Chain A
Amino acid sequence: MSHKVIVPIGPYHPLQEEPEFFQLYVDGERVVDIDIIIGYNHRGIEQLAETKHFDQVAFLVERICGICSSSHPYAYVLAVEDILGGEREVVPERALYIRTIIDELQRLHSHLLWLGLAGHFIGYNTVWMWAWKYREPVLDCFEMITGNRQNYAMFKIGGVRRDIKDEDIPVLKKALDELVPAIEMFRGAVMDDPVIKMRLKEAGTLTKQQAIDWCVVGPTARASGINIDIRRDEPYGVTDRVNWSVIIENDGDVFAKTIVRILEMNESVHIIRQCLEKMPKGKIDADIKDVPPGEGIGRVEAPRGECFHYIRSDGTNRPVRLKIRAPSFMNVASDKVAAVGGTISDAALTLAAVDPCYCCTARLAVIDKPSNKKIMNGWDLVKLSQEKTEKLKQGLSDTGK
């Protein structure tokens, strides 16, 4: 077969059940090129945020992604607190600890989720089911602390909404104790299984230089030997008051990405345990009433990488501008180099290995370059979509006649 065939993955991913479109140009089994089309899921959240007041936006950005549903509100409140003088100045001690605990619990559940999906992607459904089984206790902890398995609504400007009760702490500790052997088992299963190794090693390699060139973030970058982690580089919560280490692997292949994520789970457990030990008594909310004019940024190490929020306030109760840069938006593009040259089997795996979360990748604004005029934005897109639906409906009823 010498002619190129397009193998489509999408526009609705068969496994991740999210809207994206990868067009693999293949020559036999080999992938020679790839088109990445994202942006099927534009929800206009940035625009919507400008119509809500500051407290409401925290709930709104929580819904950007169901999996990193603490990273986005965390980055958002950090940005607002940046205007107020900084997280450490504003937020009570106890709330800082609670924030870090929630953030790390989220990393645990997210990495377990990914591990399961990765197992599913290589056709190893036992790993999938097992990983998700061990993820359940983490979600139970969330439910116990916040009342929800996802979308915790814990973050508010100046603190957190709910306290961690004293009687909950032993339960939390026990859940962590039970999780550690499971993480250890997964580490062993991945590192010692020759077949998994055969499958993951040298698949979808992203070299350090390529990783730098494509600006990847989070575990994807750390697996390629880039030493970055917002938790250490720009501490928030109490990440600089506890002992933990940044996990770095140098190979850049799917195997390295898996190892990084599994070992990071250990670090998260470590962080949460220390937080539970050190957490002081006291207030959990600073009762912020007003946000002064100004601009601020918030950076959080989400499970998938750096999550960035920018906010501008003019002194009213609504943000003038909210700008979000989510990690998957940066990572997904790197598939262009990582997946090309491998086989289709490897490509499917590589596409999943950056732990893409398509909810946060939708971006659209059409701009006329010479006049720098905006031609189309989120609202226009909604209108366009409605018109198209109407047209389709029309077409259907025509053929029905």
Chain B
Amino acid sequence: MLKTFLSYLIFPGFLFSACAGLIACWIDRKVTARIQWRVGPPWHQNFTDIIKLLGKETIVPSDSSKWTFLLAPCLGVLGLILATTIIGRAALVPSESFLGDLIVVLYLLIIPAVAMIIAGASSGNPLASVGVSREMKLVLAYELPFLLSVTAVIIKCNGAIQFAGILNHQLNFASNIASFSGILAFVAALICMQAKLGLAPFDISEADQELMGGVLIEYSGLPLALFKLTKAMLLYTSPLLLIVLFFGKDLSLLFILLKFVGILVVFILIKNTNPRLRIDQALRFFWGPVTLLALLANGLALLGY
């Protein structure tokens, strides 16, 4: 009982994923800075930022609904802790995974986005409400191709809806990425993850330059820190999920680390070489080419490629 509790709270749950996420954020900032001819922050910058936010005053706007406003960030972070722990434990000790945990994780990964929507809607700010409508459209846009690319993996692994099954299958045969359907599904999932993470070109709901932070505009202090933490943890969880789904052959620590940094750098490169899309363009993009890609992956997986 205590062990389970600690696994959620410390490793591979909250504390570990938060630290790993903040380090991942640092890699993001550092690589971005180098691409842009800047020096970049020291490794502890994100930790410092979070600690600084904790010391700031929390301002609740008078026309917001107070409890929703304050609980939304907690919801996001809690949902993500569950998801990241399930994935982490499955990757470490496959025997601890339970039937259908993949489905559970897929649901849990939507919660941060839902939390953002609730947060923006409860803050009663016009810019936030525009951000909310964008975030909603974006979730609708990327969830379809994302789920489709996951089904391609499930088909590939003979219908396993359990991380242990998926990892086992890859261990016995080959990583999913080493097949045509795997490559297509991976590309689709990667693009969807980019949107899930809210990185450019899909940082539409926050859009500093148009909405000045969008859904998060009214947040300050601890709740803002929680949202930043959620983002950071997501930056750790998403590559991890992709590794489990597509690169499951060799899960030794060194290889996990290499794959993790590799995927992270791909995210960062996409982020830094693309302008932000308009929401209608993003919707068209996800429901068009990306969905087609994922469907194709499903077809190929069914045919056994």
A and B part of one assembly: yes
* Residue of B with least CB distance to A348: B210
Q: Which of B220-263 contact A (CB under 8 A)?
A: none
Given contacts A198-B281, A344-B211, A345-B210, contact A122 B275 (CB under 8 A): yes
A123 B129 Cβ-Cβ under 8 A: no
- A133–B182 CA distance with the chains assembled, in angstroms: 41
**Interface residue? B161 (CB, 8 A):** no
B-to-A contact residues, CB < 8 Å = 32, 35-38, 126-127, 129-130, 133-134, 200-201, 203-204, 207-212, 272-281
- A119–B274 CA distance with the chains assembled, in angstroms: 10
The 4 closest A-B pairs by CB, nearest first: A123-B276, A129-B36, A122-B275, A124-B275
- A124–B210 CA distance with the chains assembled, in angstroms: 13
A348 B209 Cβ-Cβ under 8 A: yes
B275 A199 Cβ-Cβ under 8 A: yes
The segment out of A1-9, A78-86, A301-309 that lies at the interface is: A1-9
* Residue of A with least CB distance to B36: A129
**A348 contacts which chain B residues (CB < 8 A)?**
209-210
Tell me how far the C-beta of A98 lies from the nearest C-beta in chain B, rounded to whole angstroms.
32
**A5 contacts which chain B residues (CB < 8 A)?**
126, 129-130
**A29 contacts which chain B residues (CB < 8 A)?**
130, 133-134, 279-280
A interface, over-half SS? helix
Q: List 25 A-B contacts (CB under 8 A).
A: A5-B126, A7-B126, A7-B211, A14-B209, A14-B212, A29-B133, A122-B276, A123-B208, A124-B200, A124-B274, A125-B36, A126-B36, A128-B36, A129-B38, A130-B37, A195-B201, A195-B274, A195-B275, A198-B281, A199-B275, A199-B277, A199-B281, A343-B280, A345-B207, A345-B210
**Interface residue? A170 (CB, 8 A):** no
B276 A129 Cβ-Cβ under 8 A: no
- A117–B89 CA distance with the chains assembled, in angstroms: 45
B277 A198 Cβ-Cβ under 8 A: yes
Given contacts A124-B274, A125-B36, A195-B275, contact A26 B130 (CB under 8 A): yes
Quick one: which of A15, A119, A127, A345 contacts B278, CB cutoff 8 A? A345
Tell me how far the C-beta of B22 lies from the nearest C-beta in chain A, rounded to whole angstroms.
21
- A366–B126 CA distance with the chains assembled, in angstroms: 33
**B35 contacts which chain A residues (CB < 8 A)?**
126
Chain A interface size, as a band, is 20 to 34
Tell me how far the C-beta of A306 lies from the nearest C-beta in chain B, rounded to whole angstroms.
28
- A130–B272 CA distance with the chains assembled, in angstroms: 12
- A5–B131 CA distance with the chains assembled, in angstroms: 13
Tell me how far the C-beta of B220 lies from the nearest C-beta in chain A, rounded to whole angstroms.
16
**A318 contacts which chain B residues (CB < 8 A)?**
none
- A345–B138 CA distance with the chains assembled, in angstroms: 15
B211 A120 Cβ-Cβ under 8 A: no
Q: Which of A77-121 contact B (CB under 8 A)?
A: 119-121
* Residue of A with least CB distance to B272: A126
- A122–B273 CA distance with the chains assembled, in angstroms: 12
Given contacts A120-B209, A348-B210, contact A28 B275 (CB under 8 A): no
- A29–B211 CA distance with the chains assembled, in angstroms: 11
Q: Mark A119-152, 1 if CB is under 8 A from B, else 0.
A: 1111111111110010000000000000000000
**B38 contacts which chain A residues (CB < 8 A)?**
129
B133 A1 Cβ-Cβ under 8 A: yes
* Residue of B with least CB distance to A118: B275
Q: Mark A292-319, 1 if CB is under 8 A from B, else 0.
A: 0000000000000000000000000000
Given contacts A123-B209, A195-B274, contact A345 B279 (CB under 8 A): yes
**B134 contacts which chain A residues (CB < 8 A)?**
29
A130 B210 Cβ-Cβ under 8 A: no
Given contacts A26-B130, A195-B277, A343-B278, contact A129 B201 (CB under 8 A): no
**Interface residue? A196 (CB, 8 A):** yes
- A344–B124 CA distance with the chains assembled, in angstroms: 19
Q: Which of A339-394 contact B (CB under 8 A)?
A: 343-348
Other contacts beyond A6-B126, A199-B275: 4, CB < 8 A: A123-B275, A123-B276, A128-B36, A343-B278
Quick one: which of B37, B130, B208, B281 contacts A344, CB cutoff 8 A? B130
Tell me how far the C-beta of B219 lies from the nearest C-beta in chain A, rounded to whole angstroms.
16
- A348–B130 CA distance with the chains assembled, in angstroms: 14
* Residue of B with least CB distance to A28: B133
**A128 contacts which chain B residues (CB < 8 A)?**
36
B130 A124 Cβ-Cβ under 8 A: no
- A199–B201 CA distance with the chains assembled, in angstroms: 11
* Residue of A with least CB distance to B137: A29
**A344 contacts which chain B residues (CB < 8 A)?**
130, 210-211
- A15–B200 CA distance with the chains assembled, in angstroms: 17
- A125–B207 CA distance with the chains assembled, in angstroms: 12
A346 B278 Cβ-Cβ under 8 A: yes
**A343 contacts which chain B residues (CB < 8 A)?**
278-280
* Residue of B with least CB distance to A133: B37
**A196 contacts which chain B residues (CB < 8 A)?**
275
B281 A129 Cβ-Cβ under 8 A: no
- A345–B133 CA distance with the chains assembled, in angstroms: 13
Tell me how far the C-beta of A383 lies from the nearest C-beta in chain B, rounded to whole angstroms.
33
A199 B133 Cβ-Cβ under 8 A: no
Tell me how far the C-beta of B249 lies from the nearest C-beta in chain A, rounded to whole angstroms.
34
- A120–B280 CA distance with the chains assembled, in angstroms: 20
Tell me how far the C-beta of B288 lies from the nearest C-beta in chain A, rounded to whole angstroms.
13
Given contacts A5-B126, A14-B209, A346-B278, contact A123 B272 (CB under 8 A): no
**A199 contacts which chain B residues (CB < 8 A)?**
275-278, 281
Tell me how far the C-beta of A190 lies from the nearest C-beta in chain B, rounded to whole angstroms.
10
* Residue of B with least CB distance to A126: B272
A7 B130 Cβ-Cβ under 8 A: yes
